[in-house]
Amino acid sequence: MLLIRNGHLISPADELNGYFDLLVAGPEEESAGTILKIAPNGTITPALFPELEEQIRSAKPVNATGCLIFPGLVDVHVHFRDPGFTYKEDMETGAGAAAAGGVTSVVLMANTKPPVDNPETLAYVLNKGRETGIRVYTCVNVTKGMKGEELVDVAPLLKLGAVGMTDDGVPLLDENLAREAMKLSAELGVPISFHEEDPAYIENNGINHGAASEHFQIGGSDREAEISLVRRDLALALETGAIINIQHISSKETVELIRLAKFSKGGERIHAEATPHHFTLTEEAAIRCGTMAKMNPPLREEADRLAIIEGIADGTIDIIATDHAPHSEEEKAKPITEAPSGIIGLETALSLANESLVQAGHMDYEQVIRAMSVNPAKLYGLEAGFVREGGPADLVVFDPKKTWTPESFLSKSSNSPFLGKTLTGKVRTTICRGQIIV
């Protein structure tokens, strides 16, 4: 039993924004892992709630003075590398990194080895996820073996617990196959997420074609690689009625294409995500940090970064997701054209949103929590993203003023341009199923 006191609770889904205390049942107690009572600060006492006297007196106090309390974050674009690449990350270390960042629910991508295109691998992932302290969900592949040739029989895998479809990491280039996949999404009512990078416009992926590619004297990745596939898939989504998520947006043109599509008939089924690194950094970071800031799609220009922020602020981009992508130190030490793309992000995401979105004056905490908890939970139909009596006790206590410098991570990998950089805003406590996990 926990009694969280003196915190500023913000839960947009419940229209809560004020100072409240919360009485939480632990996982081993009656009403396990749920919120028993929400009341104004200082009022959860035996005198005012005699029916809860025993629980109140036995509760462990959690002092949230000076802190914000949010529903646990929901990250719907995460790579835990398990099975197949556990030298980079595994289920346990990935979940630990998530908890450290205030993330209580994750949706895993399916580009593992073997990929999640069959019942056996799906069962492996879900069973290992249940052994962690957080809630682990997973997508399954759109195409068998992620080869872009034949659709996976998704319906049986959904019945076994999968929550979405994606070949993330590999773009779906065959337009007819993409259309059939979207028809399947519409028929089953399940989201399909797209990695939008056409290799026809890419010479060296992970680095923007512009100042960064000139610096490294390589061809880089042109913005049209993203724009062209996004334009195609938005049209297909409106044609088929699919529930789609355009992943990790990097360009201002893509933001505008999505904005226009969302105003079209059927546009309510179109979703889009941005990563903290794309609204925080530009290609200058790639020049400065090299492979530690190499990712797909690449960091682009300041105008793109600002357009992404504007898109989050006005709801065009309704989801913030990390694309947490661990790689080993040896892999990232390779030359710029050989090192793999991707950075980790779970442990720094909320701090970066605090700095670059709220403290920079672009939006408020309610908007950030909608994008990091409420909206991603809705997309996948997860019981998360809200704080109410009888609901799941998945919570994060966040100190928005505390500065910290990540010198190491709970993730098995450390491939981050934010390593050694002082950040503002720190997770103090993460609670999942009524249990303190950080």
Catalytic residues: 323
Residue 352 CB neighbour total at 10 angstroms:
23
Asked if residue 298 lies in contact with residue 283, where contact means CB atoms within 8 angstroms, the answer is: yes
Write a three-state SS string for the chain.
Answer: CEEEEEEEEEEHHHCEEEEEEEEECCCCCCCCCEEEEEEECCCCCCCCCHHHHHHHHHCEEEECCCCEEEECEEEEEECCCCCCCCCCCCHHHHHHHHHHCCEEEEEECCCCCCCCCCHHHHHHHHHHHHCCCCEEEEEECCEHHHCCCCECCHHHHHHCCCCEEECCCCCCCCHHHHHHHHHHHHHHCCCEEECCCCHHHECCCCCECCHHHHHHCCCCECCHHHHHHHHHHHHHHHHHCCCEEECCCCCHHHHHHHHHHHCCCCHHHEEEEECHHHHHCCHHHHHHHHHHHCCCCCCCCHHHHHHHHHHHHCCCCCEECCCECCCCHHHHCCCCCCCCCCCCCCCCHHHHHHHHHHHCCCCCHHHHHHHHHHHHHHHHCCCCCCCCCCCECCEEEEEEEEEECCCCCCCCCCCCCCCCCCEEEEEEEEEECCEECC
